[in-house]
Amino acid sequence: MNAMVSKSYNAREAEQQHLLQVYGQYDFEPVAAEGVHITCRDGRTLLDFYGGHAVASLGYAHPDVLETLNKQAEQLFFQSNAVALEVRATAARKLAAFAPEGLQRIFFVNSGAEANENAFRIALKKTGRNKILAVEHSFHGRTAAAGAVTWGAHDKWYGFPRTPFDVDFIPRDDAQAAHAMVDSDTAAVVIELVQGVAGAYDLAPDFVDAIVSACKQHGALLIVDEVQTGVGRTGYAFAADLYDLQPDILTTAKALGAGFPVGALMLTGDAAGCLGNGDLGTTFGGGPLASALISTVLDVIERDNLLENVQKISSRLQAECLTGPVNKISGKGLLLGLHCEGGAKAARDALLDKDILVGTSGDPDVIRLLPPLILNDEHVDELVAALAAT
Ligand SMILES: Cc1ncc(COP(=O)(O)O)c(C=O)c1O
């Protein structure tokens, strides 16, 4: 570790001086990271199966990411959407090629919630209706519109006196309810195909089919929220490919920038047809640094066969992690939920004692694995051994 890092500094205490205390935090402080390992101030090295909430798609200090950042920063650090840029056009072309068939219109933003916020705005405008349905246990973000369709937000943290549109939640995996609830007032149904925050819960294919057919029948848009599942996380470019779906709008963020804040909406030409000059906007979205990084992330995923890597590593994790406290595994690719006897917190703490970082979830029994897509066999061996000894 860098000799300049003082072991006695306490970042949590220092943060408390000015930062709002709204996060439950781990009690280690990362000071450096490389590959899939985090170095902490106290000198410990952690194997990272959490990836900073699924963001560190290429791990840390990836040479292509660093080179892109440096080159782009030197060449053109920032310009807004008031001007067209080659670097932005290239990122959009690459993302459209990576996206599920038919989603060829792109809008760049800065975060997952902002992507969803704009997706809902488009669905309301396109249909002229005012109701959005989501699925119970879903998470779509913290803004007024994204929080409105997040399960449980109203009781816990929503904080606005009313939602900006009518909202209802379809019971999870209840195909009959989906058919009954989608109607001619429904502008859109938004779904996470694998519900991340809920504990890597993969929706039943017949439930997803019911939503797709109900949307078609009533002219409602299908919005697939791939903020957590997108950009290779499930072993496919997008989970929509895994479920063989063609959404009207797909939103993504997190992994797309490998740590740089980015978000994107991908739309069909038909959904995009209702939009004109001035209907959407953002200052930072699609800036040069963000755009350059999006291109690099997509290039590296392709060049290094990371989708195949995710599929291979996921098969091993699913076959071998049913050990120690783990009695069931849910999820897809490298978004996996390990269901633990004795609860998620105890399992997470036991793994952290063995220098392995995993996340918890909305399900008190489920720890979440969201590691970088570059994970390899040795890392799987380490986790399996640690679980077995837990
Ligand atoms: C499925 C999903 N949608 C939306 C969001 C919100 O994204 P952001 O925190 O970038 O606004 C998240 C964040 O965890 C998410 O998992």
Spatial separation of the C-alpha atoms in residues 119 and 122, rounded to whole Å: 5
Would the pLDDT of 3 be above 60? no
Question: Does ligand 1 lie within 6 Å of residue 111's CB atom?
Answer: yes
Q: 138-194 pLDDT, tens per residue?
A: 999 999 999 999 999 999 999 999 999 999 999 999 999 999 999 999 999 999 999
Question: Does ligand 1 lie within 6 Å of residue 228's CB atom?
Answer: yes
Question: What pLDDT is attached to residue 375?
Answer: 98
Residue nearest to atom 6 of ligand 1 (CA): 141
Closest ligand 1 atom to residue 53 Cα is: 14
Closest ligand 1 atom to residue 192 Cα is: 1
Question: What pLDDT is attached to residue 2?
Answer: 59
Question: Does ligand 1 lie within 6 Å of residue 137's CB atom?
Answer: no
Would the pLDDT of 348 be above 60? yes
Question: Does ligand 1 lie within 6 Å of residue 151's CB atom?
Answer: no
Distance 74 CA to ligand 1 centre (A): 31
Distance 240 CA to ligand 1 centre (A): 17
Distance 54 CA to ligand 1 centre (A): 10
Mean pLDDT of 256-284: 98
Q: What band does 5 get if pLDDT is binned at 50, 70 and 90?
A: confident
Best residue among 22, 55, 226, 254 to mutate for probing ligand 1, ranked by most atoms within 8 Å of CB: 254
Mean pLDDT of 319-333: 98
Would the pLDDT of 1 be above 90? no
Question: Does ligand 1 lie within 6 Å of residue 232's CB atom?
Answer: no
Q: 72-128 pLDDT, tens per residue?
A: 999 999 999 999 999 999 999 999 999 999 999 999 999 999 999 999 999 999 999
Structure tokens at 244: 């063989």
Closest ligand 1 atom to residue 141 Cα is: 6
Domains of the chain: 1-43 (no CATH), 64-303 (3.40.640.10), 306-365+382-390 (no CATH)
